[in-house]
Structure 1
């Protein structure tokens, strides 16, 4: 059986999510990871715990597969007998592995569900149908396809009011399309906007279904996230729920979180377990959740087949998500059940920035959790050479300037 010295984590991505995984595995086993991506980003630059290898054409799926096979051949010579654990950090790399798994499966251990289970999660139509069948709270949803474009009354008689969310069901095909005004998710105020947006999406070549969904209003106080690990038997073994305290202000990075507090939420934990156990999920999952203030229910929005870029919040509360994959797949150990329950603060910005820009609704939670303990992913003492300190300082400064710049824009609007 391999020991901690006999495996190499190979991470697809070179940003915050990659450093999250590399640091988690270094803390657990003292191993150094290899990160592959298009650019050597500051989040992983000049690190002692992660070796970055960058190729500008690494967005090409065939290049990804070719690079992985070449790396496996190299390591077979330089680290004979070492087990390779392959971990994606963004949706594109997850899709590549699902599509080309057979081409690298003989060289790498990959903590991902099988193709059929992955499809049930990735296709939003199937996903919300699964939530309904399992009794998992989720937003009210209507599914439409291109045939409704001829209906002049599209959007007039929805079972819920405006504004509404519109998003593509097929999250594999849609990101590949390019057209003016393309967004990941659309917030629409009326039926006319719904019809126009749907026409533009289909005109760009999209041929899947569209999801029309009730909009759950609110600031950070209604945003929650869960990160999990399910073993090969399809049982959730690790679970950590976080309350978002501060989101990103930069419009290009909307959807990212910069402060999260771990919380104990048994009802949400039950919903997440019901969903993932119900489909026999395997591997890490990042679950986006919104609290419906009208009902008090936490409603599941989507599941990503990988750890979240901000999943290091689980470490703040004493839970090592990345270790679960290494324990199960590399070391052959059963993954011990663990759920984080204490309040701790995770940060991706200096604490002073979080305190200044956090909304009033989550300010007291942030301060209370900070007193109990806080963690910044990039502030890792064993990995703070002078060059590394400069890189981390530049990342923190970039975030700080973004909040100053875009908070002014918010005030002006």
Structure 2
């Protein structure tokens, strides 16, 4: 169905439009990680200043820390989502261990670096706000490490509890902040998704309206030649009657029969009315209507379509309409008339293409088991076995390129389904085609 393809296309464009957090590529991650690893190694200069000399163990720890970060960033792109979560947890623990090891090597509890330990969970919260587990793992590692250094190395339990509590507090703040950040991002993305979804639906509705209007105008183009012939007939006798009246008035009605003059005026008036009716029907049908569905009489809808279809069927087939006046449906009358007109014009095209001499088209409405059934039948060649399964496919047509777009039946079926009905096709047992439009009764 064309509606389904359009909706899938609209949803595909919607997913492309939706904003989401962009994840850095592997090259970008390695570049950022490379800068961070380089900074860790270059900060060895602080170790030299603090210890007032070269110290190989701290340099090895820094180099190992830098390599661990680069290895993590490289391996993260090689594993799945679950493997990435495990690697992230291990990385957070390794970062905490490396930092505490450096603190131990550079003086232990007397090193001012120990007071930077609570900052590690906050740094992880800023770097990876999408997941709170690395922050928790880092907080536990830093808390246990500071407790070990201050309890078993400096034997200062009060200071150990204070620093460990500070680390735990910072870990909680980091995890809570990351959670709030995720909620804010989700709410913002949901709002943007809703806005993009609404805009996509509006564009889809507008595209549907324009597509139906395009098919309507194409149908009018196919009716143009018949309309010219239909208008030309009343114009010919209107012209003759006007010439007669001019002659009669020129002779000041001398010797003219008043009844004959009245008949001429009557024929002229009827011809003008016929032209006015044809032009009015075409003008009303060609206008793009955005009316809401409402309860309408099926006989009025069929009559509107039949008046326009008569232009096409007049020299091709005899049209018979049997629709009870009490049959009512809930639909958009203009759209439903377009569906019926398309079925009638298709029947006329099939009869003309098959060169059926005594063409007949029947339109019959009935109520069957709580549903309204409208049948449009003809005595043409019917549908061939290879055509019948595809007649509702978009752009599928058996007509010449200048006589059909292949969208008429596809659009008609979509309109019927929008009204809660169905449109199907079959062959008549006695020969010819039959289109069955089924609609629900108004509630």
Please report the TM-score for the alignment, with normalisation by the length of structure 1. Answer: 0.24
Give the structure with the larger strand fraction: 1
The structure number with the bigger radius of gyration is: 2
Please report the TM-score for the alignment, with normalisation by the length of structure 2. Answer: 0.23
Give the structure with the larger helix fraction: 2
Greater relative contact order, per chain length (Cα 8 Å cut-off, separation 6+): 1
